[in-house]
Structure 1
Amino acid sequence: MGFSSFNTGYDWSRVQRYRDIATQHGGVLDFSVGSPIDPVPDSVRLALSEASTESNAHGYPATAGSRDLREAILHWFQNERGVDFTSIAADVVPTVGSKEAVALMASLLHCGDGDVIVQPRVSYPTYEIGTQLAGAKVLKVDEVSDVESWVHEPNVKAVWVNSPSNPTGEVLESAQLRSIVRAARSIGAIVLADECYARMDWRGAAKGSQLGATPCILDDEVCEGGAEGLLCLYSLSKQSNMAGYRTALIAGDAQLVAAMLRYRKQIGLIIPGPVQAAMAAGLKDVEGVRAQVERYRKRLHILAQALSDYGYDARMPQGGLYIWVRALSDDCWQDMQHLAELGIVPSPGEFYGDSRYLRFSTTASDESIATAAGRLSSNRA
Structure 2
Amino acid sequence: MPQLSPHVAAVPGSGIRRLFEIALTLEGVTFLAVGEPDLPVAPHIAAAAKAAWDAGDTNYTANGGIPPLRRAFAQRFAQDRGVALDPERVWATIGGTQALHQALGLMLDPGDEVLVPDPGYTTFSMSPRMLSAVPVAYSLREEAGFLPELDRLERLVTPRTRAIIVNSPSNPLGTVLDEHHARGLLDFARRHDLWVLSDEVYAELAWDAPHVSLTALDTRESGGERVVGVFSLSKTYAMTGVRVGFLVAPRAWAAPLRSAQEAMISCVNAPAQHAAIAALTGDQSAVADARVHYRENLRAATALLDERGIGYLEPSGAFYLWIDVRHVSGGDVAAWAEDFLRRQRVAVAPGSAFGPSGEGWIRVCVAASRSDLLHGLSLLPAP
TM score, norm. by length of structure 1: 0.86
Mapped to 2, the partners of 1:271 and 1:253 lie a distance apart of: 20
| Change in 2 beyond 3 A, CA 1:251/1:258 | farther
Q: Which residues in structure 2 correspond to 1:330-349 (within 5 Å)?
A: 330=329, 331=331, 332=333, 333-334=335-336, 337-338=339-340, 341-349=343-351
Q: Which residues in structure 2 correspond to 1:222-241 (within 5 Å)?
A: 224-241=221-238
Q: Which residues in structure 2 correspond to 1:126-141 (within 5 Å)?
A: 126-141=123-138
1:309 to 307, 310, 333: 307
Match of 2:89? 91
1:195 to 178, 200, 206: 200
Q: Which residues in structure 2 correspond to 1:161-200 (within 5 Å)?
A: 161-200=166-205
Q: Is the 8 A contact 2:176 2:211 kept in 1?
A: yes
| Change in 2 beyond 3 A, CA 1:218/1:228 | same
Match of 1:150? 153
Mapped to 2, the partners of 1:28 and 1:273 lie a distance apart of: 36
Match of 2:143? none
Paired amino acid for 1:278: A
Secondary structure at the aligned position of 1:182 is classed as helix
Paired amino acid for 2:189: A
Q: Is the 8 A contact 2:45 2:279 kept in 1?
A: yes
Q: Is the 8 A contact 1:112 1:134 kept in 2?
A: yes
Match of 2:369? 365
Mapped to 1, the partners of 2:185 and 2:311 lie a distance apart of: 30
Asked whether 1:69 is paired with 2:69, we answer yes
Mapped to 1, the partners of 2:17 and 2:80 lie a distance apart of: 38
1:103 to partner: Cα distance: 3.1
Paired amino acid for 1:366: R
| Change in 2 beyond 3 A, CA 1:132/1:338 | closer
1:222 to partner: Cα distance: 8.1
Match of 2:51? 50
Secondary structure at the aligned position of 2:293 is classed as helix
Q: Is the 8 A contact 1:251 1:257 kept in 2?
A: no
- What does the per-residue CA deviation read over 1:253-299, in whole Å, with 9 as the maximum and x for residues that have no partner? 22235422321023334111111010011112322211112211111
Q: Is the 8 A contact 2:197 2:229 kept in 1?
A: yes
| Change in 2 beyond 3 A, CA 1:368/1:257 | farther
Aligned alpha-carbon RMSD (Å)? 2.7
- Structure 1 unpaired stretches of 5+: 207-212
1:304 to partner: Cα distance: 2.2
Q: Is the 8 A contact 1:41 1:240 kept in 2?
A: yes
Secondary structure at the aligned position of 2:114 is classed as strand
Q: Is the 8 A contact 1:310 1:376 kept in 2?
A: no
Deviates more, 1:253-262 or 1:65-74: 253-262
- What does the per-residue CA deviation read over 1:10-37, in whole Å, with 9 as the maximum and x for residues that have no partner? 24464269738974xxx32110011233
1:154 to partner: Cα distance: 2.1
Secondary structure at the aligned position of 2:89 is classed as strand
TM score, norm. by length of structure 2: 0.86
1:133 to partner: Cα distance: 1.2
